[in-house]
Amino acid sequence: MNWKSTVEQWMPKPLIAPLKNLRQSIHLYQDSWAQAKRFNRSYSRIMPHERVRIETRVMFLSHQIEKGLSHHNFRYGFGKKVFNELPTLLTRLEQADLNFANNTVYKESLAALHEYMQRHLDAEKDISWQQSLFTTDQWQRIMNAESNDGGSISIRKSDKLNNKDLSFAALSENRHSVREFADEPVSLDELNQAIQMSMRTPSVCNRQPTRVHVILDKEVIAKALHIQGGVNGYPAPPALLMITSDLRAFMTSYERNEGYTDGGLFGMSLLLSLESLGIGACPLNTMFTATAEKKTRKLLHLPDNEVPVMYIEVGHFLDETRTCRSTRFQGSDITSVLK
């Protein structure tokens, strides 16, 4: 018998549960603090020097360019903030990765910049300011970049008609987030079908903490997305889903992040379910500031015991729309094998 069991045996019974719960609360604060310290040690701060942290910021900025290239109403000259940061980061990436010419993130950035410059040149717009920010070598590489490496791609409604018959590999390969949708409403039946298709998503001990809040009111959608801030400049979608996790499904402090894992898995199932039904979608982050979270909770009447995991914008595909290419690493780039 270990010391814990011995103590429990001698302790008055009514005290055991409250003391165990107290111990969990202490763990929760200690472990959350350790987690905060690890995050603080690791995340990509402004102007990093290490390769992966530089790549993080280059990807973030290149994605802003790809999003700008995807707008139906293309805004010439967009991206001033991006251009103030990206050239320096590209130079840092050249220094941090001697093989930068084959670096996926570097190549995606050049390709997005190439499309940006080309579209401006085609429209006879002045890009001398943008050019002045890059080194001569970088500019040469931008001009010669491969368009398959990054930038925007076209998505056609006609290509989605047979989605339900596609293999998993084909469905997954052809799914892209779209941020512009047809005006046609999305029915509750369509959404319920996709949600039902996602119900086989696994969760810890099958406790199924995920909740889905369906928002169809245009005004509420616009307000929610205004607070969220990640799709500014795009028209509001016909439907917005808020995926949350119900914290009442968890039992110990060690499970404090499990809702995000289970909710994230459910979100992916839902994205693929929608895609297989030929319906367009885009996941959106719910990494709110405290103020934004408070406003969102009030707007959507979210119960205190639920935490936001992600939004998913949903709508029918336009006949044709553009979206970010969002180039991926190779599987081998992210895999390490313990022998």
Ligand X SMILES: Cc1cc2nc3c(=O)[nH]c(=O)nc-3n(C[C@H](O)[C@H](O)[C@H](O)COP(=O)(O)O)c2cc1C
Structure token digits, residue 75: 């805004």
Q: Which one, 230 or 278, has the nearer CB to ligand X?
A: 230
Contact 213, 300 (CB under 8 A): yes
Taking the complex as a whole, the smallest distance from the CB of residue 67 to ligand X amounts, in Å, to 6
Interatomic CA distance for residues 210 and 248, integer angstroms:
11
Q: Which helix (H) or strand (E) holds 245?
A: strand 239-246
Taking the complex as a whole, the smallest distance from the CB of residue 133 to ligand X amounts, in Å, to 24
DSSP state of 232: T
Angle in degrees, CA 294, 299, 300, rounded to 5: 100
Taking the complex as a whole, the smallest distance from the CB of residue 310 to ligand X amounts, in Å, to 5
Burial zone of 141 (CB within 10 Å; 0-12 exposed, 13-18 middle, 19+ buried): buried
Instruction: Give me the DSSP letters along 49-103.
Output: -SHHHHHHHHHHHHHHHHHHHH-SS--TT--HHHHHHHHHHHHHHHHH-TTGGG-
Angle between helix axes 104-122 and 136-143 (nearest 10 degrees) is 80
Contact 246, 306 (CB under 8 A): yes
Q: Which one, 138 or 327, has the nearer CB to ligand X?
A: 327
Taking the complex as a whole, the smallest distance from the CB of residue 261 to ligand X amounts, in Å, to 12
Choose among 226, 236, 212: nearest CA to 292. 226
Q: Using CB under 6 A, list all residues that contact ligand X.
A: 63, 67, 176-177, 179, 230-231, 282-285, 310, 324, 326
Q: Which one, 89 or 155, has the nearer CB to ligand X?
A: 155
Angle in degrees, CA 208, 179, 215, rounded to 5: 45
Taking the complex as a whole, the smallest distance from the CB of residue 48 to ligand X amounts, in Å, to 21
Q: Which one, 270 or 282, has the nearer CB to ligand X?
A: 282
Q: Which one, 212 or 231, has the nearer CB to ligand X?
A: 231
SS3 label, residue 252: coil
Taking the complex as a whole, the smallest distance from the CB of residue 226 to ligand X amounts, in Å, to 13
Taking the complex as a whole, the smallest distance from the CB of residue 267 to ligand X amounts, in Å, to 7
Interatomic CA distance for residues 106 and 59, integer angstroms:
8
Q: Which one, 110 or 284, has the nearer CB to ligand X?
A: 284
Taking the complex as a whole, the smallest distance from the CB of residue 92 to ligand X amounts, in Å, to 22
What are φ and ψ of residue 72, in 5° steps? Answer: -60, -45
Q: Which residue is nearest to ligand X (CB)?
A: 230
Q: Which one, 96 or 281, has the nearer CB to ligand X?
A: 281
Angle in degrees, CA 77, 78, 83, rounded to 5: 95
Q: Which one, 134 or 280, has the nearer CB to ligand X?
A: 280
